[in-house]
Amino acid sequence: MADLENRSTRTGDGSVLGWLSGLGIVAVPWIASGIISTFLPEPEESFLWVFLGAFVAMVGWIAYGIARIPRFRRGALLGSAIALGVVGLLFALLRWVQP
C-alpha cells in the first residue's frame, strides 16, 4: 500500500513528450488539417489555412512545453529539427527531380 501512496507524487519525464512533440510538428498538423478541412464547404481551399493554424498551434504547444515542462526542451528542439529537416530535404529533392 505504501507504493500506491508514493506513486501519485511521482512526476513524468518530459523528454519523451518533447521528442514526440518535436517529431510530430509536421505530421500532426497535416493529419488534423486533412480531417478538419474535409468537413468544411471548400476543402481544397481551406486545407492550407487549417494546416497553417494547426502548425501555429503545434509551435505554440512546443513553446509552452519548453517553458513549463522539465526536460522537454532538448527532445522538442532535436525532434523538430529532424522533422523539419526531412521535410525540407524531401521538398528540395522534389524540386530537383521535377522537370
CB neighbour list of residue 51: distance below 8 Å, 6 or more residues apart: 29, 30, 33
Report, as an integer, the average pLDDT of 65-75: 92
State yes or no: pLDDT of 3 exceeds 80: no
**Banded model confidence at residue 81, pLDDT cuts 50, 70, 90:** very high
The model carries a pTM of: 0.79
Query: Does residue 19 contact residue 75 with C-beta atoms inside 8 Å?
Result: yes
**Each residue of 6-50: pLDDT tens digit?**
655 556 678 899 999 999 999 999 999 999 999 999 989 999 999
Nearest CA-CA partner of 76 in 85, 84, 66: 66
Query: Does residue 25 contact residue 84 with C-beta atoms inside 8 Å?
Result: yes
**Which string of DSSP letters, residue by residue, matches 35-66?**
HHHHTSSSHHHHHHHHHHHHHHHHHHHHHHHH
Report, as an integer, the average pLDDT of 58-87: 94
**Banded model confidence at residue 99, pLDDT cuts 50, 70, 90:** confident
Report, as an integer, the average pLDDT of 69-78: 93
